[in-house]
Amino acid sequence: MEDNLTIWSPVLLNRLKDNRRIAEEKSYPLDIYYRAIEDLRVRVKERQVVSLGTAVEARIKVDILCLLADQEGQMQLFKREEILYDRISLQEFEKTLNRDEPVDYHLELKRVTWEGEIDGNDVKVACFIDYTIIATREQLVRLRGEEHAEISGELLENAMRQLEAEIERIQNENAELKRQLFCHTSNISSLKQGLHKAEKRNAALSRENTAYQTMIARMREEMSGLGQAVGFSSAAESYPAYLPERSEYKIYSARDEEAAKTDTNGLNQLGSRIKRLFQANQ
């Protein structure tokens, strides 16, 4: 005959009659305008049930992760942490519990869904969490030999399921960290490219400004030399040095007419040289 075995084990005392749902909508202002939400995730970080006398309160801490695309197609990670609350009366449980006895409450997730959208300069996220609560107590349990073998296999299976769930959680966290690293690397690369383009543009503008200043100086020298050749004064280059008054009449000789032709030719040469100078610097 096999010996009986006595162990400490959590015993199920009570549970909710129906599953519960937390539905929360959050709105977050954005610094700049984003075109769309490329990806959205809501990850449960912690869950807790707190006893409040005639009620219990479910507290679920979540991470909200949004991958946003701006007008230029650049990606930016937006992250917020929220705690969701839900208070439940003890009358919602299947049985009446003795509040004087210690009870451990456990929150079991059933389903987590979400949706989001860009509304102007705000990002709106709606989160839906379906869950239930069970009440347990640690107590001594006596097992017969054949029950011991069955329970050992069940405990091993439960342990394996918990281990697989933990491995999956760690893998999801690693994938999220890799995505964040990729986004930050892409942003840094884009900033470097933008800085390089700005430096090249600044250098080009500096060269253009230097060439423009050189052209202006050359034009001034050319105009000064040509102005002196055709009889403009240095004090007032816009007017002839010997301009007769409006009421003064003078009879020109053949020599004066030849000098006037020379002045006209000089003005024509000045216009031609200015035109060539502009064409050479275009």
Quote the number of domains for the chain: 1
Longest dimension (CA), the chain: 153
Residue 119 within any structural domain of the chain: yes
- Please say if the pLDDT value at position 135 is more than 60: yes
In a domain, 93, yes or no: yes
pLDDT per residue as tens digits for the range 246-274:
444 455 455 555 555 555 555 566 566 66
φ, ψ of residue 96 to 5 degrees: the values are -90, 130
147 residue type, one letter? E
Query: What is the rounded distance in angstroms from the CA atom of residue 137 to the CA atom of residue 152?
Result: 20
Residue 200 falls inside a structural domain: no
**Tokens 């989160």 map to which residue?**
127
Lowest mean pLDDT among 48-52, 57-61, 203-207, 231-235: 231-235
Q: Does the pTM exceed 0.85?
A: no
| Pairwise CA distance, residues 277 & 58, whole Å | 83
Residues 6+ apart with CB under 8 A from 198: none
Confidence at residue 193, expressed as pLDDT on a 0 to 100 scale:
79
Read off the pLDDT of each residue in 97-125 and give the average, rounded to a whole number: 88
Mean pLDDT within 33-55: 90
Query: What pLDDT, on the 0 to 100 scale, is given for residue 101?
Result: 74
11 within a domain of the structure (yes/no): yes
Report the alpha-carbon distance of residue 146 to residue 137 in Å, rounded: 24
User: Residue 74 domain-assigned?
Assistant: yes
- The 3-state secondary structure of the chain, one letter per residue: CCCCEEEEEEEEEEEECCCEEEEEEEEEECCCCEEEEEEEEEEEEEEEEEECCCEEEEEEEEEEEEEEEECCCCEEEEEEEEEEEEEEEHHHECCCCCCCCCCEEEEEEEEEEEEEEEECCEEEEEEEEEEEEEEEEEEEEEECHHHHHHHHHHHHHHHHHHHHHHHHHHHHHHHHHHHHHHHHHHHHHHHHHHHHHHHHHHHHHHHHHHHHHHHHHHHHHHHHHHHHHCCECCCCCCCECCCCCCCCCCCCCHHHHHHHHHHHHHHHHHHHHHHHHHHHCC
CA distances from 240 to 169, 227, 228, 255 (A): 92, 9, 10, 19
For residue 217, is it within any domain?
A: no
Has residue 240 got a pLDDT over 60?
no
Residue 157 domain-assigned? Answer: no
Domain of 117? 5-143
Question: What pLDDT digit, counting tens, does each position of 176-227 carry?
Answer: 777 777 777 777 777 777 788 888 888 888 888 888 888 888 888 878 777 6
Does 84 reside within a domain?
yes
